[in-house]
Amino acid sequence: MNENEIISEILRLADERDALILAHNYQRDEIQELAHITGDSLALSMEAARTDKPVIVFCGVHFMAESAAILAPEKIVLLPRLDAGCPMADMITAEGLREFKKQYPGVPVVTYVNSSAAVKAESDICCTSSNAVNVVASLAEPEVILAPDRNLGRYIADQVDKTCYFWDGYCPTHERFTVEDAKAAQAYHPDALFMAHPECPPEVLALADHICSTSGMYTFAQENPAQQFIVGTEEGILYRLRKENPDKEFILPTTRLVCPNMKLTSLEDVLKALQTMGPRVTVAEEVRIPAKVTLDRMLAVPRD
């Protein structure tokens, strides 16, 4: 089958199975083009919960499909590549978090959605890059544990009047983006605005004009009259930025901003998932129920 035939067959099968295809903003261009809905981690989890479709094909990484399975256990959640994990999510375990919590009795744990269901189940509330500050500010306690991303944690801590304790995890993709990369891009494109994802190191964020989630970058680029933007996040985001803003220029400051896990899913994998109805992601009820409480608390926090 050539690419067009594969795409037609995917769409035919998605129709036959009554499946919704979701793709994260970092997926390969052709996967984003094919998906029914693209979005950031929060938006995709909410779509998974809201849809009346019985089957969700999650083109993303494992924790995202798990979030969908937590929120919508009655649905069949397919992850076309079961090996598409998130190294940051793997930097924390439920057992490790339980030990960490012992150092700070009574302090609530705010966990980034980039985490396993078991870690969510050990936490008090989740956050994503688009709502993290609101989530932490919504808590009554003067102290919080922020896990697992130390960079997102420091970004939050700078904006809230609370004592924060950080888990020492990070995203290897955003960690590869250095101050030197950012400064060189700014020197080469002095009129460009620099937008950065909060997973970037703090010294990089200090140089940014705007810090936001992946979806926040689409809004910023569309609403801001600037013509050039330096993009401080995974390169997959460029596809829609360029499509939606054909007259604007988007500059990736380094070729190292590629997440290998996000790039695993191919059209062939999506087709196979729909043909075989697998691999399927499920979460055991004893983990799913407390993990859902953690996600539901996040979803109840008002958005800006």
Member of 51, 67, 114, 265 binding ligand SF4 (CB under 6 A): 114
Angle, CA of 104, 212 and 203, to the nearest 5°: 70
Closer by beta carbon to ligand 13P, 101 or else 129: 129
Residue 213 lies near ligand SF4 (rule: CB under 6 A): no
Radius of gyration of the chain (CA): 19
* Residue 110 β-bridge partners: 125, 146
Q: 180 to 239, contacts with ligand 13P by CB under 6 A?
A: 197, 199, 213-214
What is the amino acid identity at position 30? Answer: E
Residue 40 lies near ligand 13P (rule: CB under 6 A): yes
Residue 32 lies near ligand 13P (rule: CB under 6 A): no
In whole angstroms, the minimum distance from the beta carbon of 56 to ligand SF4 comes to 18
- # residues near ligand SF4 by CB under 6 A: 14
Residue number closest to ligand 13P, CB atom: 40
> Which whole-number Å values give the CA distances from 41 to 35, 52, 66, 97, 207, in the listed order?
15, 19, 11, 22, 25
In whole angstroms, the minimum distance from the beta carbon of 235 to ligand SF4 comes to 10
Residue 78 lies near ligand SF4 (rule: CB under 6 A): no
Strand order in the sheet with 228-232: 210-211, 193-196, 228-232, 249-251
Contact string (CB under 6 A) for ligand 13P, positions 124-163, x = contact = ----xx----------------------------------
d(CA 235, CA 254): 9
Helix ranges (DSSP H) in 18-147: 29-34, 41-50, 62-71, 94-102, 117-121, 132-137
Angle, CA of 142, 143 and 146, to the nearest 5°: 140
In whole angstroms, the minimum distance from the beta carbon of 175 to ligand SF4 comes to 9
In whole angstroms, the minimum distance from the beta carbon of 93 to ligand SF4 comes to 16
Closer by beta carbon to ligand 13P, 25 or else 123: 25
Closer by beta carbon to ligand SF4, 135 or else 259: 259
Dihedral class, residue 18 (left if φ above 0, else alpha if ψ from -120 to 50, else beta): left
Closest CA to 70 of 33, 102, 44, 90: 44
Q: 249 to 288, contacts with ligand SF4 by CB under 6 A?
A: 259, 261-262
Q: 17 to 56, contacts with ligand SF4 by CB under 6 A?
A: 26
The DSSP element (H or E) to which 146 belongs, if any, is strand 143-147
Closer by beta carbon to ligand SF4, 41 or else 186: 41
Closest CA to 92 of 100, 81, 104: 100
Residue 41 lies near ligand 13P (rule: CB under 6 A): yes
Contacts with ligand 13P by CB under 6 A lie at 25, 40-42, 86, 114, 128-129, 171, 197, 199, 213-214
Contacts with ligand SF4 by CB under 6 A lie at 26, 61, 86-88, 114, 171-173, 199, 234, 259, 261-262
